[in-house]
Amino acid sequence: MLMNMKELLAVANENYFAVPAFNISDYNMFNGIMEASEEKNSPVIIAIHPDELSHIEPEMVQGIRARIHKSPVPAVIHLDHGGSFEQVIAAIQAGFTSVMIDASTAPYEDNVATCQKVCEAAHAVNVSVEGELGTIGNIDSAEGGADILYTDPMQAKDFVERTGIDCLAIAIGTSHGIYPKDMKPELRIDVLDEIKKVVSAPLVLHGGSSNKDSEIAKSVEHGVNKINISSDIKAAYYKKMREVLADEGLREPNQIQPPCLEAMKEVAFQKIELFKADGKADLY
Ligand SMILES: [Zn+2]
């Protein structure tokens, strides 16, 4: 069941659960995420970063759409961290049903203007838009700055009202990537509560990999509706692949990939349950 993010997150917002946004970089991983979501009867967001899109090629989005059309669970195809108006338009043309425009490192008024422009174009063709305010930390990827700038609640309210975005990525203490051992991330639930009081649009948490489960669960209880997971599922997939490839005689993808997918799906199951998304496909 293919839909846009606005439709998908409205139900999550009403029912206090979060939909996992899993980043996928090939069709095999995508299909594994769909199977995991179907087994848990969970709505799902297929997140594809521009770097991932250039890896899989935009033509594959048509295959992803076809797979989702035959699935009973609600799903969104979402551009993660769109970096420019042009990138967003290309994604819409490729078949995405939702786009993120990340102008959060630009001055505030520029971020507003960019989001307004993207919303005008995307909404005209029923594609939803995610914006970002504040700076989500960065461990090892190409997104955002290294230091966390917490989202200002009143600025968030102004931002959502003026831009018309359908959901907002907030910075409350998460970072992209896997945290080094000596780094102990702590989520500012108090900041989340302040934002939630004045912003009615669904809120998004990026960099959800390797945060403490108890903190993630708390952020869901306090109203986060979309949580991005990339590093955790990929780490499980490739850890298993290293083991499988110890058998040097193996060369067929249909022998090598299935056990890796099972390892990835185990992580996906755990996230779906942690976000309270299991069984929620029935609400659509
Ligand atoms: Zn992100």
Q: What average pLDDT does the structure give for the chain?
A: 92
244 domain-assigned:
no
The pTM of the full predicted model, rounded to 2 decimals, is 0.93
> Counting runs of H as helices and runs of E as strands, what totals does the chain give?
11, 10
pLDDT 10s digits, 175-194? 777 666 666 667 889 999 99
183 domain-assigned:
yes
218 domain-assigned:
yes
How much is the pLDDT for 104?
87
Average pLDDT over residues 8-23: 98
Average pLDDT over residues 55-82: 97
Phi-psi region at 81: left, alpha or beta (left = phi > 0; alpha = psi -120 to 50) = left
At residue 71's C-alpha, the angle toward residues 239 and 81, to 5°, is: 55
Q: Is the pLDDT reported for residue 146 higher than 60?
A: no
Q: How far is the CA of 53 from the centre of ligand 1 (A)?
A: 15
Q: Tokens representing 103?
A: 């102008």
248 domain-assigned:
no
Q: How far is the CA of 41 from the centre of ligand 1 (A)?
A: 25
Average pLDDT over residues 144-169: 86
How much is the pLDDT for 139?
53
| Number of domains the chain is built from | 1
201 domain-assigned:
yes
69 domain-assigned:
yes
Give the CA distances from residue 6 to residues 75, 105, 267, 271, in Å, rounded to whole numbers and listed in that order: 12, 24, 26, 22
- Strand-pairing partners, residue 133, are 170
245 domain-assigned:
no
CATH number for position 147: 3.20.20.70
Average pLDDT over residues 109-118: 96
pLDDT 10s digits, 69-83? 999 999 999 999 999
CA-CA distance, 21 to 46, in Å (whole number)?
6
- Exactly one of 26, 51, 80, 247 is catalytic; which is it? 80
CA-CA distance, 134 to 32, in Å (whole number)?
33
Q: How far is the CA of 246 from the centre of ligand 1 (A)?
A: 33
What count of other Cβ atoms lies within 10 Å of the Cβ of residue 269?
16
Cβ 278 vs Cβ 73: under 8 Å = no
Identify the H or E element spanning 198.
helix 189-198
The whole domain housing 39 covers: 5-230+268-283
pLDDT 10s digits, 192-232? 999 999 999 999 998 877 778 999 999 999 999 999 999 99
Q: How far is the CA of 202 from the centre of ligand 1 (A)?
A: 16
Is 158 considered catalytic here? no
60 domain-assigned:
yes
Higher pLDDT, 127 or 144: 127
